[in-house]
Structure 1
Amino acid sequence: MKTRFPFVDWFRNSSPYINAHRGRTFVILIEGEAMAQGRGEQLIQDLALLHTLGVRLVVVFGIRPQVLEALSAAGIEPTRHDGRWVADAAIMSHVERIAAEQRLWLEARLSLGLPNTPLHGVELTAVSGNLVMAKPLGVRQGIDFDHSGEVRRVRANAIQGLLEQGSLVLLPPLGFSSTGEVFDLDASEVAQQAAVALSADKLILLGEADGLHDESGALQRQLTPSEAEPLRRQAAPGSELARHLGAACAAARHGVARTHLITWHDHDALLGELFTRDGVGTMITQHRYEQLRPAELSDIAGLLELLEPLERRGMLVARSRERLEHEIDDYLVIDRDGMVIGCAALHVFTDVTMGELACVAVHGDYRGGARGELLLAEVERRARRQGLSSLFVLTTHTTHWFFEHGFRSAEIEALPPLKRDTYNHARKSKILIKSLV
């Protein structure tokens, strides 16, 4: 018998998903274009409905088009490199202002409870704050990115506490450093890092596209990170496709059960993806396994693939296959289901009981999961077992990270004679030392 009200059948069929989603944590990214095109009101109503159904929500919002409009009005043309703009003081003043305005607008709309609105009777507390810690991108290929940054750490415990109190957490594309600075962040990176830190059940990315399509134009319902990765590499740096696929693949590889790519153009996309059997977008999901172990000659190809992008960006000194083969016993690797996703080397200078911590690298999709700390701790254990009194490192990009892990600045005279004689003055690497005694 055909129902008089089609929504009744939909409601009945959605009941398994309502039960499955209750108490789950979803991280949802809403790109700034959605707000700029007037989709904010409908999305807020959908968020309120999810909250009412017991979903724990963390909402990340983008502000790119709003900032670009403000910069254009002010006659400011941002310098761009590798898909990011250089956020100098003038740009940051607009970024901070617009992020604050957008947050206040969202909080105001989430507070709406008039009888003639869909949010009538919904008690929804929206909370934001210094919940994302950041670090500067630094100097890359000779370009100082100033206040353009990347996520260092998401304060997962604080966010979990807010979610347990029934709050909806808002995260702007901003981060704060331990030195009191504010950094401009990529909203998709904030969403990905938040999902991983919270062990979220879902990461939902609302963008222009309605998902990924094959060569015939058919929507691809489900992909693994390895299947989606070639599409990411083909996408233009900094494009929404590149950013969303990067976030989706990284989140899936870090254990976020499901990442969904859907479009904000479709008013039904968010609820349709969550409460129907087939969904409306593309889901990326995969579970992998990893271990920290000594490197082997069979890892050379994986090491070269891991290091090449970092060498190309000037973060690491180029290493040949022959050099890696010769020094392979110095290396540790993080192996994840047969893929080298991290490495570090300990080069020993026995004449001065010092060791060089070298070639610390983690694949871009796997950063933010304390793998750098894991590598450093194992190198320190190796160094102490060999009777070394200190470690030194030469770095151009990650000075802050090493400072926070016990290293201090030093002059070139503190290096072992052999390293001092081969120091590359053109790279201007910072010299940092950590005592092991």
Structure 2
Amino acid sequence: MKTTFLSNEFRGSAPYIDAHRGCTFVIHVEGEAFESPCEALIQDLALLHTLGVKLVLVFGCKPQAQAALARSEHPLQLLRGRWIVDQDGMAVIAAQTQQLRMMIEARFSVGLPNTPLHGLDIVTVSGNFVMARPFGVRDGVDGLYAGDVRHVRSDAISELLARDMLVIIPPIGYSSTGELFDLDSTEVASQVAIAMQADKLILLGQHDGVRSEDGALQHQMEPEQARQLSAVSMPESLHHQLEAACLAARKGVKRTHILNWNDRDALLGELFTRDGMGTMITQERYEQLRIATSADIAGLMELLRPLEERQILVPRSRERLEQQIGDYTVIDRDGMTIGCAALHSYAQEGCGELACVAVHEGYRDGERGTRLLEAIEQRARKQGLRQLFALTTHTAHWFLEHGFLPAGIDQLPEARRSAYNTQRNSKVLIKPLV
């Protein structure tokens, strides 16, 4: 029986289901997402809750508040990208925020009829979790009731999450003097994630993610890379998200994701597939090149098996891998071994064998083989080796492109020459390390 696409996708998601259970996610949803039917988004959030994710939902209310202010003919002025909010305007914004919060709570309270999650009981809670301070006077203009986040009551939020509640936080802040302040919802989400030291901050906006100058979607970046890209022309709303994501990453949030709420599959696709659907900002390298350990043996065997079955590589037993595991360098992508190469040293002859160069078929378009070769060359130089040699039956051209030269069997170290398999008739290539 053929394995279906659905079965493969479900099996592929299993490690993520386990990894996300018990984790804290702060999810920001812009107010525009609630201007149209949002049942699909609510279902996805409910599913995450069911899978054991601790959810904090921060929502925006800008389009709803802007429309209400326009209806009341209340003038709007901007101060460095923020609304100048007087007392009457704050009352309108507070009313719209309250209305939207109750609508969201209502969606979680109806048991999600006509969905696979029908009958699910989710308790939501909101409160004065975010303390605020005035935005203040900028350029000689008083922002009045525009505010910034001053403090997040993270302990109170954690207690509620521990009781299996879904916490909802509006873009409203409370002052120690009892006043309300209009807050930027993206800033609220970022500050909540930082205060909670959340496992993930997810920013659901109107952009698929960050793109390079040539238009390619950047699936994973570190803050410094993102800072460089921020100089490229991009929509102000995306730039704002990117700044919030980078701040969160620098302040200890493990991973921040920028996704498009218009894409029905974006949230679950980002969380439960290896390559994701948007842009992830992380201080940790999502893809690591490192020395292999015994924990990598199963992943190595899985990576090498297809190449061994096609006789591209000589089969290696588990015992052999265990004995030589320290010779291997691997590329680890979010827990999956997607590349490897080995350096078997012949120190007396001053040379080393570059062996078992392999990259997973789904990841052969990113110069990963070159990265592995460079890492092996660096290891060889540290060991004082003067040259590398390789034996291959299928990829001689790749080695030639990377500075190897054809050689004869008689140029191999004696121990390796005696073990040469004449039936495979592998080509010998050598590269000086200068």
TM-score tier by shorter-chain length is 0.5 to 0.7
Write the mapping of 1:162-311 to structure 2, written as runs, cut at 5 A: 162-232=160-230, 239-286=236-283
- The one-letter amino acid of 2:67's match is E
- The one-letter amino acid of 1:212's match is V
Tell me how large the CA RMSD over aligned residues is: 1.7
Q: How far 1:252 moved relative to its partner?
A: 0.2
Larger Rg: 2
Q: How far 1:225 moved relative to its partner?
A: 1.1
Provide, for residues 323-348 of structure 1, a one-character-per-residue CA deviation record: whole Å limited to 9, x for no partner.
xxxxxxxxxxxxxxxxxxxxxxxxxx
Match of 1:219, SS state, is coil
Query: Are residues 1:20 and 2:19 paired?
Result: yes
User: 2:206–2:261: 8 Å Cα contact kept in structure 1?
Assistant: yes
1-side partners of 2:214 and 2:275: how far apart? 20
| Structure 1 unaligned residues grouped into runs of 5+ | 289-437
Q: Residues 105 and 115 of structure 1: is their aligned pair in 2 closer, same or farther, counting only changes over 3 Å?
A: closer
- The one-letter amino acid of 1:146's match is L
Q: Residues 230 and 125 of structure 1: is their aligned pair in 2 closer, same or farther, counting only changes over 3 Å?
A: same
Q: How far 1:222 moved relative to its partner?
A: 1.0
Q: How far 1:235 moved relative to its partner?
A: 6.3
2-side partners of 1:252 and 1:197: how far apart? 12
User: 2:60–2:170: 8 Å Cα contact kept in structure 1?
Assistant: yes
Q: How far 1:7 moved relative to its partner?
A: 2.4
2-side partners of 1:25 and 1:121: how far apart? 24
| Structure 2 unaligned residues grouped into runs of 5+ | 286-434
User: 2:79–2:138: 8 Å Cα contact kept in structure 1?
Assistant: no
1-side partners of 2:214 and 2:231: how far apart? 20
2-side partners of 1:245 and 1:77: how far apart? 30
Q: TM-score scaled to structure 2, two decimals?
A: 0.63
Q: How far 1:251 moved relative to its partner?
A: 0.2
Structure 2 equivalent of residue 109 of structure 1: 107
Match of 1:213, SS state, is coil
Write the mapping of 1:345-360 to structure 2, written as runs, cut at 5 A: none
Match of 1:220, SS state, is coil
- The one-letter amino acid of 1:2's match is K
Q: Count residues in correspondence.
A: 285
1-side partners of 2:23 and 2:118: how far apart? 24
Q: Residues 150 and 236 of structure 1: is their aligned pair in 2 closer, same or farther, counting only changes over 3 Å?
A: farther
Provide, for residues 246-268 of structure 1, a one-character-per-residue CA deviation record: whole Å limited to 9, x for no partner.
11010000010100001001000
Write the mapping of 1:315-394 to structure 2, written as runs, cut at 5 A: none
Q: How far 1:192 moved relative to its partner?
A: 0.4
Residue from 43, 46, 49 that aligns with 1:45 = 43
User: 1:112–1:119: 8 Å Cα contact kept in structure 2?
Assistant: no
Q: How far 1:233 moved relative to its partner?
A: 5.5
Provide, for residues 371-406 of structure 1, a one-character-per-residue CA deviation record: whole Å limited to 9, x for no partner.
xxxxxxxxxxxxxxxxxxxxxxxxxxxxxxxxxxxx
- The one-letter amino acid of 1:127's match is V
User: 1:235–1:241: 8 Å Cα contact kept in structure 2?
Assistant: no
Q: Residues 178 and 230 of structure 1: is their aligned pair in 2 closer, same or farther, counting only changes over 3 Å?
A: same
Q: TM-score scaled to structure 1, two decimals?
A: 0.63
Match of 1:28, SS state, is strand
Query: Are residues 1:94 and 2:92 paired?
Result: yes
1-side partners of 2:79 and 2:230: how far apart? 18
Q: How far 1:77 moved relative to its partner?
A: 2.6
Match of 2:274, SS state, is coil
Q: Residues 209 and 236 of structure 1: is their aligned pair in 2 closer, same or farther, counting only changes over 3 Å?
A: closer
- The one-letter amino acid of 1:265's match is N
1-side partners of 2:283 and 2:115: how far apart? 40
Write the mapping of 1:419-434 to structure 2, written as runs, cut at 5 A: none
Q: Residues 141 and 23 of structure 1: is their aligned pair in 2 closer, same or farther, counting only changes over 3 Å?
A: same
- The one-letter amino acid of 1:241's match is L
% of aligned pairs identical?
Answer: 56
2-side partners of 1:96 and 1:87: how far apart? 11
